């Protein structure tokens, strides 16, 4: 990654200067490596609630040393703070202050995970005190994420009605948020609204036996996604425009997958993907709608070609393909449990100057995911969106230096993310361990101030 500032503040002189001037001090993030332990140190579980008991059991099972009360002079790799069963904001304080007391004892690249019940759950729709308590946890978690140091993150799990932390989807979310797979995810929430899902037998091969289709796989984030899904055990199918055929073939050959040169805006794109999976692999379990384009212009200068092409590639093609994948005549290749992830963007959340077309297309896919979720749930599947922030790619390397520096620093981790960070979040969401999360958008943006 071309980040001269990051390299400078990592040096002895740079560190001293940055500290004296109060400049951002990014640290090398802990990223997932197969076979590595989940955490490199003990975890503290706070709250004494049923979720806290489940967290302690799960962590112990994952080989982590667990403590339930703070010991002086211990460096904690993670804290899990549980707020389940709380029905008034007056009851939050004790655990929060306990959590606050441990912050100076956190190791580099630590994790804080808050666990609470979902503020949107039907059971508290007419209970102001309980909803205030649950919603209060979101503000506290987001603020703490801004206060974390040295690569540390803070995120939350929101449990739906009747869902305990020991439900597979909740346990899967906990493991993801503690792991190096969530390196660039901070200040975010994973709502786990059902007890659906399954933890993998081998946490390093969660996608074993699955066939995964990734669009726009020839380069950039798409190439990282297809490599990550293959690493996690999936048989991969890469799709990209015929003009990118050579690089697409190079990527999929390296992974033992197959290539399908195809423009996804074609009317029959969905049918052609299904036919490829049927004839070459016999099934299709996962789809990642990653292909996307930008055609930036201020709205005053926008023309029909720029507007239409962005909407056609980024949103309309997905609507058409999903319809084909969910059709009755696709059932021979698309079995139960189809998992789809679509690529949104923080521009679609906060808006971005010069990007009315792109932002419309990206907020559009978040809506698409929310409204397709019930259709997939009825068949044991899920669809979620991932919204990347500033990711170090060829695209962002071309942004003028000053704008680029601002873009990559204005987040809680003071650095840009990598394509792998986006790929890891997607690999989690398409795994059965995320089976309890549906119709949601997960930001992978280091808690960018933009759209916070
Ligand atoms: P990229 O331009 O490097 O790669 C996109 C790929 O999609 C290319 O290989 C391209 O050939 C392919 N593609 C484009 N139109 C296609 C079509 N009609 N049919 C088939 N393939 C097509 O982009 P990237 O930076 O890797 O971004 C990947 C996704 O992530 C996009 O949806 C993008 O909007 C989103 N995203 C990127 C960033 C970032 O910082 N790079 C931030 C937020 C969101």
How confident is the model over 367-390, as pLDDT tens digits? 999 999 999 999 999 999 999 999
More confident site: 400 or 370: 370
Structural domains in the chain? 25-192 (3.40.50.720), 211-444 (3.40.50.720)
Q: Give the chain's radius of gyration (CA, Å).
A: 22
Whether the complex's predicted ipTM is more than 0.90 is answered with yes
Which residue bears the tokens 């500032």? 5
Tokens of 153: 């993150």
Reply yes or no on whether the pLDDT at 402 is more than 90: no
C-beta of residue 154 within 8 angstroms of C-beta of residue 418: no
pLDDT over 60 at 448, yes or no:
yes
**pLDDT over threshold 50, residue 332:** yes
In percent, how much of the chain has pLDDT > 90?
Answer: 87
Ligand 1 proximity of 265 Cβ (cutoff 6 Å) = yes
Asked whether the predicted pLDDT for residue 3 surpasses 80, the reply is no
Whose CA is closest to atom 33 on ligand 1?
292
Edge-to-edge strand ranges of the sheet holding 76-82? 66-67, 43-46, 76-82, 106-117, 153-159, 189-192
Task: Determine the average pLDDT of the residues in 97-104.
Answer: 96
User: Residue 297 CB: number of other CB atoms within 10 A?
Assistant: 15
pLDDT tens digits, 265-322 = 999 999 999 999 999 999 999 999 999 999 999 999 999 999 999 999 999 999 999 9
| Cα–Cα nearest to 323, from 288, 284, 271 | 271
Query: Is the shortest distance between the CB of 293 and ligand 1 below 6 Å?
Result: yes
Rounded to the nearest angstrom, the distance between the alpha carbon of 222 and the centre of ligand 1 is 7
Ligand 1: distance of its center to the CA of 221 in Å? 7
Mean pLDDT confidence for 104-125? 95
Q: Whose CA is nearest to atom 28 of ligand 1?
A: 221
Write down the catalytic residue from 5, 76, 184, 358.
358
Q: Which atom of ligand 1 is nearest to the CA of 391?
A: 40
* Residue 215 CB less than 6 A away from ligand 1: yes
pLDDT band at 21 (very low <50, low <70, confident <90, very high): low
Smallest CA-to-CA distance from 334 within 427, 213, 231, 252 is with 213
Query: Tell me: the pLDDT tens digits for 30-80?
Result: 999 999 999 999 999 999 999 999 999 999 999 999 999 999 989 999 999
- Whether residue 15 is predicted with pLDDT greater than 70 in this model: the reply is no
Q: For 220, left (φ over 0), alpha (ψ -120 to 50), or beta?
A: left
Task: Dump pLDDT digits (tens) for 228-252.
Answer: 999 999 999 999 999 999 999 999 9
Task: Answer yes or no: 358 catalytic.
Answer: yes
The span from the CA of 340 to the CA of 430, in Å, is 7
pLDDT of residue 218: 97
Mutate to test the pocket of ligand 1, among 215, 263, 292, 396 (most ligand atoms within 8 A of CB): 292
Q: How far apart are CA 360 and CA 348, in angstroms?
A: 6
Compute the mean pLDDT over every residue in the chain, rounded to the nearest whole number.
Answer: 94
* Residue 24: strand, helix, or coil: coil
Query: Which residue among 1, 213, 217, 220 has the greatest number of ligand 1 atoms within 8 angstroms of its CB, and so is best to mutate?
Result: 220
Distance CA 280, CA 401 (A): 45
Place of tokens 């009315």: 356
Å from CA of 349 to ligand 1 middle: 18
Structure tokens at 309: 């092409």
Helix axes 220-231, 419-429, angle to 10 degrees: 50
Sign of the C-alpha dihedral computed for residues 28, 32, 36 and 42 taken in this order: positive
247 lines ligand 1 (CB under 6 A): no
341 Cα–ligand 1 center, Å:
14
d(CA 420, CA 433): 19
Please name which of 442, 443, 356, 345 lies closest in space to residue 395, comparing C-alpha atoms.
345
pLDDT tens per residue across span 168-226: 999 999 999 999 999 999 999 999 999 999 999 999 999 999 999 999 999 999 999 99
The string over 320-332, giving b where at least 16 C-beta atoms fall within 10 Å of a residue's C-beta and e elsewhere, is: bbbebbbeeebee
Ligand 1 centroid to Cα of residue 58, in Å, is 37
Whole-number pLDDT of residue 403:
82
**Where are the strands (E) in 241-358, listed by range?**
258-261, 286-289, 339-343
C-alpha 165/C-alpha 161 separation (Å) is: 12
């Amino acid at each position: 990654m071309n980040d001269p500032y990051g390299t400078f503040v990592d040096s002895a002189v740079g560190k001293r200067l940055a500290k004296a001037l109060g400049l951002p001090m990014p640290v090398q993030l802990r990223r997932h490596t197969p076979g590595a332990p989940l955490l490199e140190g003990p975890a503290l579980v706070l709250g004494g609630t049923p979720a806290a008991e489940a967290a302690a059991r799960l962590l112990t099972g994952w080989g982590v040393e667990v403590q339930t009360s703070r010991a002086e002079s211990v460096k904690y790799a993670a804290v899990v703070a549980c707020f389940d069963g709380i029905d008034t904001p007056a009851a939050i304080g004790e655990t929060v202050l306990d959590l606050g007391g441990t912050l100076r004892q956190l190791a580099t690249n630590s994790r804080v995970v808050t666990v609470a019940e979902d503020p949107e759950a039907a059971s508290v729709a007419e209970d102001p005190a309980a909803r205030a308590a649950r919603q209060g946890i979101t503000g506290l978690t987001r603020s703490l994420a801004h206060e974390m140091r040295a690569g540390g993150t803070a995120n939350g799990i929101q449990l739906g009605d009747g869902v305990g932390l020991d439900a597979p989807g909740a346990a899967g979310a906990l493991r993801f948020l503690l792991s190096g797979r969530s390196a660039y995810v901070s200040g975010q929430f994973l709502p786990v609204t059902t007890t659906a899902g399954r933890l993998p037998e081998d946490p390093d091969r969660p996608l074993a036996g699955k066939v995964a289709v990734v669009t726009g796989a020839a380069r950039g984030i798409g190439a990282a996604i297809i490599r990550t899904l293959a690493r996690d055990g999936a048989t991969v199918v890469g799709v990209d425009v015929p003009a990118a055929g050579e690089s697409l073939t190079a990527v999929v050959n390296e992974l033992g997958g197959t290539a399908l040169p195809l423009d996804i805006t074609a009317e029959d794109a969905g049918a052609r993907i299904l036919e490829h999976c049927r004839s070459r692999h016999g099934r299709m379990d996962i789809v990642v709608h990653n292909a996307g384009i930008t055609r930036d212009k201020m709205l005053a200068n926008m023309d029909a070609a720029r507007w239409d092409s962005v909407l056609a590639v980024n949103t309309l093609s997905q609507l058409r393909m999903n319809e084909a994948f969910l059709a009755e005549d696709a059932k021979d290749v698309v079995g139960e449990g189809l998992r789809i992830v679509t690529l949104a963007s923080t521009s679609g959340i906060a808006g971005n100057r010069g990007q009315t077309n792109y932002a419309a297309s990206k907020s559009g896919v978040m809506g698409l995911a929310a409204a397709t979720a019930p259709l997939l749930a009825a068949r044991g599947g899920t669809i979620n969106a991932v919204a990347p922030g500033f990711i170090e790619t060829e695209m962002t390397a071309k942004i003028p230096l000053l704008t680029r520096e601002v873009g990559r620093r204005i987040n809680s981790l003071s650095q840009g993310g990598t394509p792998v960070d986006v790929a890891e979040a997607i690999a989690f969401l398409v795994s059965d361990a995320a089976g309890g999360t549906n119709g949601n958008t997960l930001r992978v943006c280091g808690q960018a101030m933009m759209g916070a």
